[in-house]
Amino acid sequence: MFYVSSLFLKLYPVLEVLSDHPFSSLSGSCKNRCFELVESEPPNCRCDNLCKTYNTCCSDFDEHCLKTAGDFECRKDRCGETRNEQHACHCSEDCMAKGDCCTNYRSLCKGDVPWLQEECEEIKNHECPAGFVRPPIIMLSVDGFRASYMKRGSMVIPNIEKLRSCGTHAPYMRPVYPTKTYPNLYTITTGLYPESHGIVGNSMHDPGFDANFNIRGKEKLNHRWWGGQPIWITAVKQGVKAGTFFWPLDSALKDIDKVIGQLMNGLKQMKLHRCVNIILVGDHGMEEAHCDRTEFLSSYMSNTEDIILIPGSLGRIRARNSNNSKYDAKAIVANLTCKKPDQHFKPYLKQHLPKRLHYVNNHRIEEVHLMVERKWHIARKVYESKRNHGKCGFAGDHGYDNKINSMQTIFLGYGPSFKFKTKIPPFENIELYNVMCDLLGLKPAPNNGTHGSLNQLLRAPVYIPSMHEEVCKPNPVGPVTALNDDLGCTCEDKVSYRVFSDLNKSFYMSIRKFLRTNESWLPLLFSRTA
């Protein structure tokens, strides 16, 4: 069993239940469809987070999806309450039997010790209820969780800190470039670089079918954009149950930590805290940024009307008209290169980008790419950055070079399959897909990760890498005397040796003479460079 949950610091579309297709849909009712990613065409009703805005909700949307009365935790005055079916969870005496208690029911109403207050426990063997073939995985992805946020410690994020200290963690996990949400979430779930899975940005254009993708548009729901095989499809294809739950949380670290605490208390209450493997990751980090730090292409180019720029923390340029024969990518790069001493971006033809970025082999990646200095933005014209009536709508951003410290994010693993109180070296997020497949007993789909590279975080690694067997064994080399090929050499051995010996002696004497007359050069000639 596998579940992915995303706690978004920004408002994004949400997805709840998947079948054997990543974008399946049911019509007429919101049962099992709450906050789905699919936007059904009329006359079908919708259950996404915008249906209220467009007045297209299914009739049972409120009943199934907005059942939040009473909050998700018990209060002391609710202990032993009369069951109220309007509540999202219950604190009544029969809630354990019915399996719908609030997550803190046992600790608040029955005196159990909350998960957070327990000492770290080394779970050497999983303890799962009957019917579990293997420990399930719950992955939680937090948008914009910069690695350095972990330094806030137990005073701010006590539940997350306990997962870190009691389980397996890395100092940071490196996201893929660009360090944007959609490319990285899909990389985590497929093990592929963006150039391989096709989600090369939060916004992109496909010249093949001449369509535009962005995170707020309907086109993102079309399966033609999404390459590779995400972990939930790998699971379903191999007979493992899977589901994903995405919901928005526009809040601070303390509120995210509270959700983690609710999850862990709920698992303990259901006797699953020694069964389930928890993976907590971020999609990317976060960097300070402001509208005042914006470069404008109009300051570098005389004509910006013939191009389309995808602006922000990185820039991608294409011709406004795909049939424009005068569009010259090389000329644009040349005209933007080293034009000002304080220039805050560097232009590239995509094939000249650093190879470590793996950001070239996809036709959705524009020919001209602008790598922007951290804390800065790129825009086409001045007016395009002032559409909020002169107000700056952000104080931070992401998308910058993935080697920058502020773009690094977190990895925490906790549960029976992860090592106890273990710190591992940093790694790239493309490696997680293979780990999840190993934990679920799945055969991974082709991916860019190195299978087995994260075995050090597992208590009992499943996949052990081995050297490929040699197809052709090397022939033993015979003694030198057995060689009868003169290799085209006609000189006699003795003559060759004498000539070489004379040259060597002459060179040695020259060095000695040089050193006697240039003693000050001795440290330079014979010391090692720093």
Residue 513 has pLDDT above 70, yes or no: no
Confidence band, pLDDT 50/70/90 cuts, at residue 189? very high
- Cis bond leading into 425, ω under 30°? no
* Spatial distance between the Cα atoms of 179 and 53, rounded to a whole number of angstroms: 31
Q: In this predicted model, what pLDDT tens digit does every residue of 269-293 receive, in sequence order? A: 999 999 999 999 999 999 999 889 9
* Spatial distance between the Cα atoms of 274 and 29, rounded to a whole number of angstroms: 36
3-class state of residue 467 by DSSP = coil
For 454, residues 6+ apart whose C-beta sits below 8 A from its C-beta are 424, 427, 431, 432, 434, 435
Residue type for 62, please? D
Percent of the residues in the chain that have a pLDDT greater than 90, as a whole number: 62
Is the Cβ–Cβ distance between 157 and 116 less than 8 Å?
no
Is the Cβ–Cβ distance between 206 and 225 less than 8 Å?
yes
Task: Specify the domain boundaries for CATH 3.30.1360.180 within the chain.
Answer: 290-397
* Spatial distance between the Cα atoms of 377 and 384, rounded to a whole number of angstroms: 12
∠303-306-311 over CA atoms, to 5°? Answer: 90
Count of other CB atoms within 10 angstroms of residue 86:
9
Q: How many whole angstroms from its chain centre is CA 92?
A: 41
Q: What is the pLDDT of residue 13?
A: 28
Catalytic residue list contains 181 = yes
* Mean pLDDT of all residues in 121-139: 93
Residue 502 has pLDDT above 80, yes or no: no
Q: What is the pLDDT of residue 529?
A: 43
Instruction: For domain 290-397, give the fold.
Output: Gyrase A; domain 2 (3.30.1360)
Query: DSSP code of 490?
Result: -
Q: Which residue do the tokens 């773009």 mark?
A: 407
Q: What is the pLDDT of residue 495?
A: 52
Q: What is the pLDDT of residue 51?
A: 75
Per DSSP bridges, beta strands 287-288 and 396-397 are antiparallel
Residue 258 has pLDDT above 80, yes or no: yes
Q: In this predicted model, what pLDDT tens digit does every residue of 337-396 receive, in sequence order? A: 999 999 999 999 999 999 999 999 999 999 999 999 999 999 998 865 555 555 777 778
* Mean pLDDT of all residues in 222-226: 95
Q: What is the pLDDT of residue 481?
A: 58
Strand order in the sheet with 345-349: 307-310, 314-319, 368-372, 345-349
Q: Which one has a higher pLDDT value, 306 or 72?
A: 306
Is the Cβ–Cβ distance between 374 and 308 less than 8 Å?
no
Catalytic pick among 56, 168, 179, 181: 181
Residue type for 49, please? N
Confidence band, pLDDT 50/70/90 cuts, at residue 251? low
Q: Which one has a higher pLDDT value, 501 or 19?
A: 501
Residue 512 has pLDDT above 80, yes or no: no
Is the Cβ–Cβ distance between 243 and 16 less than 8 Å?
yes
2-29+117-286+407-457 domain in CATH 3.40.720.10? yes
Q: What is the pLDDT of residue 7?
A: 46
Query: DSSP code of 405?
Result: G
* Spatial distance between the Cα atoms of 360 and 354, rounded to a whole number of angstroms: 10
For 37, residues 6+ apart whose C-beta sits below 8 A from its C-beta are 13, 14, 15, 23, 48, 221, 246
Task: Specify the domain boundaries for CATH 3.40.720.10 within the chain.
Answer: 2-29+117-286+407-457
Across-strand partners of 169?
Answer: 412, 423
Q: What is the pLDDT of residue 218?
A: 87
* Spatial distance between the Cα atoms of 170 and 281, rounded to a whole number of angstroms: 10
Mean pLDDT of all residues belonging to the chain? 84
Q: What is the pLDDT of residue 16?
A: 27
